[in-house]
Each structure stands twice: as C-alpha cells, then as structure tokens.
C-alpha cells in the first residue's frame, strides 16, 4: 500500500464516478458528515426553486399542474426511489419522517395474539426507534420491559446474526432491526434474517437510515415485509427532508394502522366520504398532506443516484472507506483511537467509526482545522467519505490532520463535551 499524497491524487484521477462539481463544497474544508446530513447539490437546489416557482405561478392549481404536480409527487418520487432500495415501483412511497413512518408500520404490522406478543429489536439501534417501539408496546397494553426484547451485542459495537436468529422465539410477533448500525457501520444480512424470520412465521422490517443511498438493497427479492428511512443523509435531501417507506406488495389491501386523508385512493380522496377507501399500494401508508418543499430537493438528488447506479456508488464507497482504514491503521497506531468498523467489506457500511475517551475534543479540533466529522456520545467519531462528492485526497488529508491533532495534543485546548447538536 502506498501512503503518499501522490497515490491519493492518482486514485482520484482514475475515478470514473464523480459528481463533486454538482455539490456546494467549501474550498477550504473537508466535509465528512454526509452520513448525518448530506450536502446540497445544484440539482436539489433547482428542484426546490422549481417547486417554489410552481406555487408562485399556479397557486392552488399547483396540486395538479406544472412539471411536478404536488398531488402525485409522493408516488412519483416513490417510483424513482424504488431502484435504490430494490423494490417494485408501487411498493415505495416518499412520505412522513423516519419515526412517523415507523409508528405507521408498527401500528399496521404489530398484531399481538396468543403467545406472540413481543417485538424483537436490538440494543445498538438509534434511540428514536426504541422510543417508538416502546410506545407501540404500551399502546397495546403491554410492558416494554417485558415485551420489547433487545438482542444483546457481544462486543458493544456489532451484532451477531446467529444471536438475532436465536432470539426469534414463538413469543415474537414482529421484528424491527437496522440495515446498517448507526455507530459501527455494520451491515446486517437482511436477506438471511428475513428468511429466518419467515421460517418462524414472524414479519420483519428494517430501518434503512444509514444504508439507503450507501449500499444496494433488494427488498422485494429478499421478501422483506416493510422498511423505512430518512432521505437527508446519503441521499442528500436536505435537513428535515421527507422520509420514505417500503411495504411488500404481499401486504397490499390491508387498512393502515394510522389512517389519514392521504391514505386514500387518489380518485376517491376528494369525495369527502367518512369511510376510507385506502390506496391499493404503498400510498395507503401516507397520513397527512405531504410537505412539498421538504420533498422538492429529493427530485434533483434522486436523478444523480439513478444515473450513477447503486452498484457503482457502493464500489467507490468501499474503496474510500477501505483506503481510510488502511491510512488510519498505518498513521495513527499508538494514539488510542480504536477502529470499531467491521473490516469485512460485505459487513461495512459507508462510514468509519473511531472511539477515543477524548472524542468530543478531537471532533472540535478537527472542525477547527476544516474537517467536519460527526460526534456520537459518549466517545465516538464518525467519518463518512461519500462516493458522490468526497475524494481520496480528502481522505489522505483528513488522516494527516488527525495525526497532527493527536501527536501535538491539539484537542486539549477544547472542552471534552458535546455541543447542543452533536
């Protein structure tokens, strides 16, 4: 392995996947927080301005007129997003937010009966998912302490699929797991876990927030029951961007757990009847009026993903993270930084996760030198070299900057305490 800057520059010269010029990037900075909030692209900016323009020129008629009529936008974006998650077009809808969509799906699929009264999750999942699952268990009249089962991690960073399968007992009514763990970046074998769940008569869904736009999926072929995700991380949909969800077509026809006006079949919605005629596809899982301007940037962003294709994005992502791991192992040995990612490419998502007791300070020191990382309490540093806009040279520079921070103990000038938003 060549650890010189020239090698990194050569890797960039040989790269045939670069949308860097499409994004707004600070010339004097290195943005490595795309796994938390992706950067603004020029296409996303244009699609947002275009929808503002449709409001300006059409007023209320913007619901049915213009290049992207608002009334059909959730369905249109669902069709365009389907290839990214490996789904049939009618199985995906852009709607709600991660946690709202999780509530919707669990309200629909969690049907405790007889011995099957428990939800199976894991102890490493993002807190919002656990809060939602706890509340759903309570709504059914059960105690989350007993009826929300969380698979334990053997090392505190990763999950073993055999432990998850072992927890699929005849008391489990529903399983909800992450596709990629938000800290360690571990990719779970969603196909295998789905097959094992179905062997036992259990329905299973996945949180794809840290995998969508980062790794390829085949939700339909894997026969996953449902999935949900945000669109503001790897998919660059903007802060608070509208989320997405998938429902396997095997489940079409049932009434959504949380029905609302936009759950309606399109041709019936304005009949104003007090009996819901639910949409016959994933559109049934919408609830309220879509947030048009929170959806608008996704139009532009998706066009890049569908041009590039997830296989090519994944290939470059693995090269970037693999390169960063090798540099970290070579340059930062002895500085107390512990790499917590799986080294196996099949198990590694799109970000690097380091631990250090002074992580909050180190993140502040990185920011002071122009590198934007992501701190995760209590001692985690996430670095995400994104395939569409980060470079190998930026990865090389970041590791050199981090090496200087550690060698010169520059982090000691900062308080070891997270900011309000970490």
| Residue 53: CB atoms within 10 Å | 13
**Any known ligand binding at 232?**
yes
**Any known ligand binding at 128?**
yes
Q: Which residue has the tokens 């249109």?
A: 76
Whole-number Å distance between alpha carbons of 196 and 334: 42
Given phi > 0 = left and psi -120 to 50 = alpha, else beta, which region is 31?
Answer: beta
Length of the chain: 422
Whole-number Å distance between alpha carbons of 212 and 85: 7
Whole-number Å distance between alpha carbons of 92 and 2: 44
Whole-number Å distance between alpha carbons of 413 and 190: 44
**Any known ligand binding at 211?**
no
CB of 128 closer than 8 Å to CB of 134: no
Write the CB contacts of 318 (distance below 8 Å, at least 6 apart in sequence): 345, 348
**Any known ligand binding at 323?**
no
**Any known ligand binding at 207?**
yes
**Any known ligand binding at 261?**
yes
**Any known ligand binding at 289?**
yes
Bridge pairing between strands 371-372 and 30-31: parallel
Strand partners, 31: 372
**Any known ligand binding at 398?**
no
* Closest listed residue to residue 69, CA positions, set 88, 55, 90: 55
How many CA atoms lie within 13 Å of 231's alpha carbon, on the beta-carbon side? 29
Annotated binding site for pyridoxal 5'-phosphate: 98-99, 126-129, 207, 210, 232, 261, 289
Which positions make up the binding site?
98-99, 126-129, 207, 210, 232, 261, 289
């Amino acid at each position: 392995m060549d650890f010189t800057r020239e090698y990194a520059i050569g890797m960039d010269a040989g790269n045939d996947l670069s949308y860097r010029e499409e994004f707004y990037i600070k010339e004097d900075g290195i943005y490595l927080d795309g796994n938390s909030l992706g950067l603004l692209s020029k296409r996303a900016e244009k699609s947002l301005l275009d929808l503002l323009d449709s409001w300006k020129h059409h007023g209320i008629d913007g619901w049915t007129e213009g290049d992207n009529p608002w009334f059909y936008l959730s369905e249109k974006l669902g069709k365009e997003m389907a290839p990214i998650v490996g789904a049939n077009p009618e199985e995906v809808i852009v709607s709600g937010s991660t946690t709202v969509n999780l509530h919707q799906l669990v309200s629909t699929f969690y049907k405790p009966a007889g011995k099957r009264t428990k939800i199976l999750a894991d102890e490493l999942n993002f807190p919002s998912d656990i809060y939602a699952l706890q509340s759903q268990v309570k709504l059914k009249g059960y105690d989350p302490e007993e009826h929300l089962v969380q698979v334990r991690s053997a090392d505190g960073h990763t999950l073993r699929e055999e432990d998850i399968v072992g927890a699929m007992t005849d008391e489990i009514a529903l399983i909800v797991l992450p596709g990629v763990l938000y800290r360690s970046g571990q990719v779970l074998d969603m196909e295998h876990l789905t097959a094992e769940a179905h062997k036992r008569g259990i329905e299973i869904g996945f949180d794809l927030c840290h995998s969508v736009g980062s790794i390829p999926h085949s939700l339909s072929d894997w026969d996953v029951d449902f999935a949900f995700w945000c669109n503001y991380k790897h998919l660059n949909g903007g802060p608070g961007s509208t989320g997405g969800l998938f429902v396997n077509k095997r489940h079409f026809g049932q009434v959504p757990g949380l029905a609302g006006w936009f759950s309606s079949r399109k041709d019936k919605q304005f009949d104003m009847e007090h009996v819901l005629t639910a949409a016959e596809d994933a559109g049934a899982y919408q609830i309220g009026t879509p947030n048009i301007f929170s959806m608008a940037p996704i139009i532009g962003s998706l066009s890049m993903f569908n041009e590039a294709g997830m296989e090519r994005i994944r290939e470059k992502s693995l090269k970037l993270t693999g390169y960063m791991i090798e540099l970290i192992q070579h340059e930062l040995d002895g500085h107390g930084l512990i790499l917590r990612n799986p080294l196996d490419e099949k198990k590694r998502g799109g970000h690097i996760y380091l631990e250090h007791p002074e992580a909050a300070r180190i993140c502040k020191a990185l920011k002071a030198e122009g590198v934007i990382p992501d701190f995760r309490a209590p001692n985690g540093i996430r670095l995400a070299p994104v395939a569409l806009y980060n470079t190998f040279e930026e990865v090389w520079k970041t590791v050199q900057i981090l090496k200087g921070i550690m060698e010169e103990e520059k982090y000691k000038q900062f308080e070891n305490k997270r900011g309000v938003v970490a």
